[in-house]
Amino acid sequence: MTVADALLLALGALAVGSGALVVTSAQIVRAGLYLVVSLGAIAGLYLVLGAELVAWVQVLVYVGAVVVLLLFAVMLTRAPIGPSDDLDRPAWPALIVGGGVGLGLAVLFADAFRWSIHPLPAPGTAERMGAEIFGTWVLPFEVLSILLLAALVGAIVLSRPDIGARKGGEA
Amino acid sequence: MHAVIPFVTAALLFGLGVYGVLRRRNAILVLMAVELMLNAVNLVLVTADATVSAGLGHRGGVFALFVIVLAAAEVGVGLAIVLQWYRMRAAVQVDEVALHHEADAG
C-alpha cells in the first residue's frame, strides 16, 4: 500500500460517497454542490493517475461550467430551496438495476485485475497531450469543434421560440 | 499502484449514475446523474491509459477530453430543452412528459 494507493482509496471513497449523496439528496441545490465535490475528487484521481491536463480540464469544464449551468437551470425552473419530497420515483426498480450494474461491473473489474500492481506512468502533461491530439487525433478534434458549434446553435434555437417556431407554425 | 482501486471506483460511480437516472423525477437531477455516468467512463479511460495500455501514448486521456467536450455540449442542449419544457408546461418532472401526445401538443 503506497502513497498513491492511499490517495486513490481516499479520493475514490470521497467521489463515491458524494456521488451517492447526489442521487439521494432531497434538496436540489445540495445535490448540485455534492456533484462539485464528486467531480473534484475525480479530478484528484486523474492527477494521481498522471493525467494532469485531463484533471485541469475537468476542473475547468465540469466544476467550472457544467455545474454552474446546472445550478442556473435549478434557479430558472424555480426549484424549491428547502427539502422536497416529490423528487423521487419508487426506489426498488432503480435500486435493482443500478445496484446490479454497479456491483456487477465492480466484480468484473475486481476479477479481471485482482491485486495487480502497475507502475505509475509518465504524467500526461499539456505538451504530450497536445502532441497526441494534434498528431493522431486531429480529425476527431475538428469534428468535435463542429459539434460544439451545432450544440450552440441548437441551444439558441431551442430557447428562442420565436425563431424555432418559424417554420412549422407552432413549436 | 493497484489498478483495481480506480476501476472499482468507476464501476460504483456508474452504478450510482444508473440508479439516479432511474430514481429521479426532476429532469435537472437526471442530468446530474448522467454526468456521474460520463465521469465514471472517463475514469475508466484514464485508468486504462495508466495501466493496461501504458506506454502506448495518452489515447485514453485524449478520449476522456473528447468525452468531456461531448458532455458539455450535451448539458447545454439538455438544459435548453428542460428550460423550454418548463416554459411550456411549468414542470420539470420527467414522468409527466406525455410522449403519446406529441402530435397534438402545442
| pLDDT tens digits for range A27-42 | 899 999 999 999 999 9
| Per-residue exposure over B5-44, b if at least 16 CB sit within 10 Å of its own CB, e if not | bbbbbbbbbbbbbbbbbbbbbbbbbbbbbbbbbbbbbbbb
pTM recorded for the entire structure: 0.89
| pLDDT of the residue at A105 | 94
Q: What pLDDT shows up at residue B104?
A: 53
CB atoms within 10 A of CB B49: 26
- Distance of alpha carbon A64 from alpha carbon A69, whole angstroms: 9
**Given an 8 Å threshold on Cβ–Cβ distance, is B61 in contact with A109?**
no
Chain A contact for B47, CB < 8 A?
yes
Q: What is the mean pLDDT of residues B63-86?
A: 92
Q: Which residues of B touch A74 (CB under 8 A)?
A: 28
pLDDT over threshold 60, residue B106? no
The residue ranking higher by pLDDT, B98 or B64, is: B64
- Using a CB-CB cut-off of 8 Å, the residues of chain B touching A20 are 16
The least confident of B9-18, B36-45, B57-66 is B57-66
Residue keyed to cell 460544439: A148
Cross-strand pairs, B26: B93
Closest by CA position to A102, among listed B51, B22, B45, B14: B14
Quick one: pLDDT band at residue B1, thresholds 50, 70, 90?
confident
User: What is the rounded average pLDDT of the residues A49-56?
Assistant: 91
In this prediction, residue A169 has a pLDDT band, given cuts at 50, 70 and 90, of very low
User: CA of B98, closest CA in chain A: separation in Å?
Assistant: 15
CB atoms within 10 A of CB B83: 20
Contact of B51 with chain A, judged by CB distance below 8 Å, is answered with yes
Q: Are A164 and B81 in contact (CB under 8 A)?
A: no
